[in-house]
Amino acid sequence: MKRKEILFLVQKKFTQYAWSIATLDRRLRFFDIKYIHYDTPLEDVCAAIDKELQDTGKHLGYRAMNQKLRCHHNILVPRHLVQHILIEKDSEGIALRNLKKKAKKPKQPFQCDGPLHLVSMDGHDKLCGYQNYTFPLGIYGAMDTFSRKILFLFVTYSNSNPLIIGKKYLEYICSSYVMPRFLRLDRGTETGKMATIHSFLRSKHGDLEDPTDSVIYGPSNTNKIERWWRELHERLEKFFKVQLKKLMLNGKYHPHCLMDRQLLFYVYEPIVSRECEIFVSNWNSHRIRHQKNIHLPTGIPDHLFQCPEFYGTTCKGLTIDHTDLKSIAEVSGVLCAPDEWLDEDFKKRCIELLPNPELIASKDAAEKYCYLRHNFLSNC
């Protein structure tokens, strides 16, 4: 973040102190907090980049790579240094990402009043494969359209189950007792429960004649989170898709075999969830540059969301009563959504053969799945 953004944030959180740019600089020097560590050994930077290029960071550009080094590896170096190292170590990847821009149709200007005025939500099926069925790795997420912050993202065996989607939305609004004014959804069966929950809670505020107007339906290609799915696919999911396709081509995975599907989910779900969490964290802390035909402020998503006053607006979220939340949770039936896809005995056997799958390195996921499958079949 820039110093002015940091200053606004600390003034908001630590009101007991007098703050200014000079005071902030003095505090940063006292705690030895620097934007860039010029004494970072070049070998450490190269080692971290090599590690990422062998793992889920192989599709990252130099800006995204620099952001991941800062957030995930605590390596604070100039961006141009990361760019030069990437040019040297991943020239082919640089060339593939440097495609000429295609001619695009002119777009209408997009604007949003403030955080939680409009939240875009959608499912993502790129990891699921053919007909959204081949692999049980569906993703669903929500983006605040003003700040472009990813509010939540989760990996599940099915992102088309309305009970699961509705339960996750309910958990999100229960975490803060604040709900968005409007939702932007696709008209699909998976959004029914979520739309019902939102409309019911929205009716309690009485500012809309018809509470269902707070749910806006439309095609996926006009949903603002749709563009972000491309970022996730290009920079992260492609890494896993290569592994998954090899498993199927080598006969190690059969999409119509329930055991294979459950074993794959046991190994890959915590790994993909972990990497998605890192990706979201990096996204929410990176700086969004100015874009044409979009009348939204530029900045860091987390800062835009937490400090809308800095950008001349306020949070548009609506507070929710605990009683209303409890009531709709019981009536909607989303609490009946299963927390686990794997039954208890099956998961227990998996844990005995391969404990702590969340600690497996992403590049070793396919190997560990084959190990688990081999030993699982041997013990049958």
One-letter amino acid for residue 57 of the chain: G
Report the length, in residues, of the chain: 380
Q: Enter the tokens of residue 53.
A: 């290029």
CA 183 to chain centre: 18
Distance in angstroms (rounded) separating the CA atoms of residues 239 and 283: 18
> How confident is the model over 4-61, as pLDDT tens digits?
999 999 999 999 999 999 999 999 999 988 889 999 999 999 999 999 999 988 889 8
Q: Say if CB 288 and CB 228 are below 8 A apart.
A: no
What domains appear along the chain, each with residue ranges and CATH number? Answer: 3-96 (no CATH), 110-235+292-336 (3.30.420)
Distance in angstroms (rounded) separating the CA atoms of residues 202 and 301: 26
Distance in angstroms (rounded) separating the CA atoms of residues 380 and 377: 5
Q: Enter the tokens of residue 278.
A: 């890192």
pTM of the model: 0.82
> How confident is the model over 248-272, as pLDDT tens digits?
999 999 999 999 999 999 999 999 9
Q: Say if CB 182 and CB 215 are below 8 A apart.
A: yes
Strands 150-156 and 138-144 come out as antiparallel
Other beta carbons less than 10 A from residue 364's beta carbon:
14
Residues facing residue 319 across a β-bridge: 178
Q: Enter the tokens of residue 248.
A: 């199927």
